[in-house]
Amino acid sequence: MTRLPLALTIAGSDSGGGAGIQADLKTFSALKVFGMSVITALTAQNTLGVQGIYDISPEFVCQQIDSIFQDMGADAVKTGMLSNSSTILLVAQKMREYKVGKLVVDPVMVAKGGDRLLKEEAESTLKEVLLPLCLVVTPNIPEAEVISGISIRSLREMKEAARIIHQKGAKNVVLKGGHLEGNQSTDLLYDGQNFRELSAPRINTANTHGTGCTFASAITAYLARGSGLEEAVEKAKQYLTNILELSVSLNIGKGVGPLNHLANLYTLNKK
């Protein structure tokens, strides 16, 4: 009997259901992957912003990781909100212990509403400890500016930032270009030698809460299913574009609305 691919997300919980653990598990389900979760923090959160954060102790985060790997294992792992240095250090220790090769790091730093999700003191820990372990890191432009230390206002500067981030240890970099202006949303995939540009028409919608989590978890899902990295990134970009289009009229909440992660479940899974 063939089993479902297994994907694990290590991230924070979004009580509003649009980002974090909730977005990851919805994406895994939509892409025919069995999803598992390790919760690093609880957030009181909705489409208007983050009202509160409660960090889970690093020791209990590790206990959750042990529970999964000592029984089910995982074909691919994604990290999202890790909140503080102690959690990052222990998660990195567990990734080495369990020899996780397909690790996708979404360097979650600030929520869409501007609320900080990663303590400033932990930025260097993320760069120095976690990036060298990952197969791919998926920063947006503000996150890439923090990691690379340069300002990004153009595709040329995106490429320079990707080079710097690669030099910090990440095997591959997917730098998301959604914060730049223009009719196209262009992401860059850099493997240390070559750039691959992935472009899609920019979709005019306010329902973008959780897009970064969703993109990274889609990459994770396709890696768990056996795709190579370039194929996984390409398919994840297609999935995100599709559900953005299908979420334009979702209209949940009074602020930055969420995606409908299962909107194209039937059409997508027929391909």
18, 35, 210, 257: the catalytic one is 210
The reply to whether 211 belongs to the active site is yes
Q: Is-contact 158 152, C-beta < 8 A?
A: yes
Q: pLDDT tens for residues 76-108?
A: 999 999 989 999 999 999 999 999 999 999 998
pLDDT at 271: 45
Placement of tokens 């334009």 in the chain: 248
pLDDT at 1: 62
The reply to whether 177 belongs to the active site is no
Name the token pair of 101.
């090769």
26, 176, 235, 237: the catalytic one is 176
Q: Is-contact 146 184, C-beta < 8 A?
A: no
Task: Specify the CATH superfamily of domain 6-254.
Answer: Ribokinase (3.40.1190.20)
Q: pLDDT tens for residues 149-163?
A: 999 999 999 999 999
Q: pLDDT tens for residues 106-134?
A: 998 876 666 667 777 888 899 999 999 99
Instruction: Give just the sign of the alpha carbon dihedral 156, 157, 163, 169.
Output: negative
SS (H, E, C) 134-168: CCEECCCHHHHHHHHCCCCCCHHHHHHHHHHHHHC
**Partner residues linked to 78 by β-bridges:** 9, 104
pLDDT at 119: 78
Domain ranges of the chain: 6-254
The reply to whether 18 belongs to the active site is no
